[in-house]
Amino acid sequence: LFGLGLGTTITFASTHWLLAWMGLEMNTLAIIPLMAQHHHPRAVEATTKYFLTQATAAATLLFASVTNAWLTGQWEIQQITHPLPSTMITLALALKIGLAPLHAWLPEVLQGLDLTTGLILSTWQKLAPFALILQLQPSSSTLLIILGLTSTLIGGWGGLNQTQLRKILAYSSIAHLGWMILVLQFSPSITLLTLLTYFIMTFSTFLVFKLNESTNINTLTTSWAKAPALTALMPLILLSLGGLPPLTGFMPKWLILQELTKQGLAPTATLAALSALLSLYFYLRLSYAMTLTISPNNLTGSTPWRLPSTQLTYPLATSTAMTI
């Protein structure tokens, strides 16, 4: 965990490409023991996949920055002037955070991890590459819009036929990142706002699933028996992730659509808004499984109607309140 924090901090603080690359590399190496600690074949497989993709992305990034130093003679992050290294760096960072069409590793990896490591992977691990993308942003505008649009669409389509919660959360992550990348070059502050709200919403979703000890839709149906109060709140968290007003998740989507329309990208905004409908469908499916069905031979009558008091209770309460 210390290595994770240090890696992200080093990337944040760097102005030199080598230092930024080092921070990303430390991030990757620090999360690997966390991923593989459950010596389960699935966890080991996910760790290997993650390591290979991240190493590929880091190698591409290093290659691109060396190319840039070779072509222009300097290593500053802000000074990427040549189109070739800038495109390559954008693609490498897109592979790092899992933007479509470079997203295929993310659902696979997330599916093999436990929920806590999955939470770290889908929140904290996005910070360092995002800091770099934000500093690069005036470079390749059409590429960013293409990446953003394909991510929102694939994040919507991919989650439709899933029954595994972690894969659904992975596709939801891809879609949210797509929204952030779409608006990045026009208004970085909206991107950061979206990232923050996404973190809060994902945090409460992961914690609820952890409290229920559920990893697929079928185990969600018994959650009334385990924690009724939480189960009643869960659709609000999920619909906030889907971006329905008046919940928090609606705010970034509204601002992004407004900004895209201002920039004269109405077709892009329309496509993004339609892809949000796809995501909404699978959030609704989860809500339906959790709250609108009561499982047979359930224990609702005999369970005390309160939250089990674990160390998760306070962070969960805070993030859920913020999400709603």
Give the start-to-end residue ranges of the domains of the chain.
1-139, 140-323
216 three-state secondary structure: strand
Between 232 and 249, whose confidence is greater?
249
- Residue 206: C-alpha distances to residues 16, 95, 179, 238 (Å): 35, 23, 21, 11
DSSP state letter for 288 = I
Between 142 and 222, whose confidence is greater?
142
pLDDT tens digits, 123-181: 999 999 999 999 986 667 899 999 999 999 999 999 999 999 999 999 999 999 999 99
DSSP bridge partners of 76: 16
pLDDT level of residue 227 (50, 70, 90 thresholds): confident
CA pair distance 247, 239, nearest whole angstrom:
8
- Residue 141: C-alpha distances to residues 119, 138, 144 (Å): 30, 7, 5
CA pair distance 8, 72, nearest whole angstrom:
27
For residues 177-206, average pLDDT: 96
Report the pLDDT value the prediction gives residue 313, as an integer from 0 to 100: 80
CA pair distance 25, 243, nearest whole angstrom:
34
For residues 244-256, average pLDDT: 95
Question: Where are any strands of DSSP class E within 157-263?
Answer: none
Report the pLDDT value the prediction gives residue 59, as an integer from 0 to 100: 97
Q: For the chain, percent helix, then strand, then coil, each to nearest 5?
A: 75, 0, 25
pLDDT level of residue 80 (50, 70, 90 thresholds): confident
CA pair distance 227, 223, nearest whole angstrom:
6
Report the pLDDT value the prediction gives residue 307, as an integer from 0 to 100: 57
pLDDT tens digits, 99-125: 999 999 999 999 999 999 999 999 999
DSSP state letter for 289 = I
Give the CA dihedral 100, 180, 152, 47, nearest 10 degrees. 40
pLDDT score of 269 more than 70? yes
Sole residue written with tokens 């360092």: 128
CA pair distance 300, 108, nearest whole angstrom:
35
Between 295 and 286, whose confidence is greater?
286
Using alpha carbons, select from 192, 210, 171, 168 the residue that is nearest to residue 315. Answer: 210
137 three-state secondary structure: coil
Q: Are 242 and 249 in contact (CB under 8 A)?
A: yes
CA pair distance 79, 17, nearest whole angstrom:
10
| Tokens at 47, concatenated | 């760790």
Report the pLDDT value the prediction gives residue 317, as an integer from 0 to 100: 86
DSSP bridge partners of 216: 164
Q: Is 322 exposed, middle or buried (0-12, 13-18, 19+ CB in 10 A)?
A: middle
- Residue 28: C-alpha distances to residues 21, 31, 82, 217 (Å): 11, 6, 28, 30
For residues 19-41, average pLDDT: 95
- Residue 282: C-alpha distances to residues 119, 156, 242, 285, 289 (Å): 19, 8, 9, 5, 11
- Residue 189: C-alpha distances to residues 35, 165, 229, 319 (Å): 32, 30, 35, 21
pLDDT level of residue 309 (50, 70, 90 thresholds): low
